[in-house]
């Protein structure tokens, strides 16, 4: 992209944020410069809403964040859900039952709006909220809408787990992954591209006027929808192949380097 975009859409972990999980001074300065030129900044993340509340202020981005791989638009300032595209209870329960039958090593967690639930023996490696729902995920998802379903099986190599989940889920859901040894399932058609489209509609911006940044397979729909998709150098091989451009790694402020170039 050589022209100035109307909107910058960026993934967080591994992309906009450095290896320390923070926004570098250079990256923040580039985002501030973009905002000063009238460019909207929208965060597009796989994180649930409960994990993004401080990030618009830290990055200077718009208060409405695309969360949960495009399943939710969350207004941080108003603490309100603007848009939600969950898995229906019957579908989520069916998927858990079928995965348990065909891949008995699977353990499950689920994001349900602002709530997080998990099987008692789910091997969580990330911070767990104090109000986590512990029990049988099958029962949890059968009772309420599920923002996204999370699958782990530490007995399988990660790519093998992805293939197993894709085979079992089929067209009943959208399967993606972004690291941490987990595979995520959203409602059919729900991905970061869908989330970006909803955000663009709210801003009255054509996706062709968007530059997007990402690093993991769940970012590919985002990069493909945007007029120009950029992968950081540390990105997954599939993302590097899908991108229109490859910039420096997140450790070297790759996002900032592209923004600086566009603004000069």
pLDDT at 124: 76
pLDDT at 1: 67
Percentage of residues of the chain with pLDDT beyond 90: 93
* Rounded mean pLDDT, 83-95: 98
Q: Does residue 129 surpass a pLDDT of 90?
A: no
Q: Which tokens hold the place of 130?
A: 């104090």
Q: Which helix (H) or strand (E) holds 27?
A: helix 25-36
pLDDT at 40: 97
pLDDT in tens, 204-262: 999 999 999 999 999 999 999 999 999 999 999 999 999 999 999 999 999 999 999 99
Q: How confident is the model at residue 57 (pLDDT cuts 50, 70, 90)?
A: very high
CA-based nearest residue to 218, from 262, 261, 183, 249: 183
Beta strands in 100-182 (DSSP E): 107-112, 115-119, 133-135, 148-152, 174-176
Average pLDDT, the chain: 95
Give CA 249 to chain center in angstroms. 18
pLDDT at 178: 86
pLDDT at 203: 93
pLDDT at 197: 97
pLDDT at 169: 97
CA-based nearest residue to 209, from 3, 5, 4: 5
pLDDT at 69: 97
Strand order in the sheet with 210-214: 40-43, 7-10, 210-214, 228-232, 245-247
pLDDT at 127: 66
pLDDT at 151: 97
The CA-based angle 217-221-226, given to 5 degrees, is 125
180 or 255: whose pLDDT is higher?
255
SS3 71: coil
pLDDT at 244: 98
pLDDT in tens, 140-177: 999 999 999 999 999 999 999 999 999 999 999 999 99
SS3 144: coil
Q: Which tokens hold the place of 147?
A: 């923002």
In the block, residue with structure tokens 């570098």: 24
B/e letters for 238-249, b = 16+ CB within 10 Å, e = fewer, are ebeebbeeebeb
Give CA 210 to chain center in angstroms. 17
In this structure, of 80-94, 168-182, 198-212, the range with the lowest mean pLDDT score is: 168-182
Q: How confident is the model at residue 3 (pLDDT cuts 50, 70, 90)?
A: confident
pLDDT at 239: 98
Q: Does residue 126 surpass a pLDDT of 70?
A: no
Q: Does residue 38 surpass a pLDDT of 70?
A: yes
């Amino acid at each position: 992209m050589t022209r100035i975009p109307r909107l910058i859409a960026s993934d967080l972990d591994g992309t906009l944020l450095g290896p320390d999980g923070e926004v570098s001074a250079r990256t923040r300065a580039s985002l501030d410069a973009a905002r000063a030129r009238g460019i909207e900044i929208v965060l597009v993340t796989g994180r649930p809403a409960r994990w993004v509340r401080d990030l618009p202020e830290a990055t200077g981005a718009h208060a409405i964040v695309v969360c949960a791989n495009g399943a939710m638009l969350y207004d941080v300032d108003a603490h309100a859900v603007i848009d939600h595209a969950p898995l229906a209870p019957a579908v989520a329960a069916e998927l858990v039952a079928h995965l348990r039958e065909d891949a008995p090593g699977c353990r499950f967690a689920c994001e349900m709006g602002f709530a997080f639930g998990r099987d008692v023996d789910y091997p969580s490696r990330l911070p767990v909220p104090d109000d986590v729902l512990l029990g049988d995920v099958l029962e949890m998802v059968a009772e309420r809408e599920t923002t996204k379903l999370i699958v782990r099986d530490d007995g399988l190599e990660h790519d093998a787990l992805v293939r197993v989940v894709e085979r079992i889920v089929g067209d009943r859901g959208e399967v993606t992954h972004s690291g941490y040894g987990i595979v995520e399932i959203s409602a059919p058609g729900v991905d970061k591209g869908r989330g970006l489209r909803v955000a663009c509609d709210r801003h009255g911006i054509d996706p062709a006027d968007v530059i997007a940044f990402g690093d993991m397979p769940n970012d590919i729909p985002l990069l493909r929808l945007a007029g120009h998709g950029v992968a950081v150098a540390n990105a997954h091989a599939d993302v590097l192949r899908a991108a229109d451009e490859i910039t420096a790694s997140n450790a070297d402020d790759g996002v900032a380097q592209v923004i600086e170039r566009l603004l000069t």
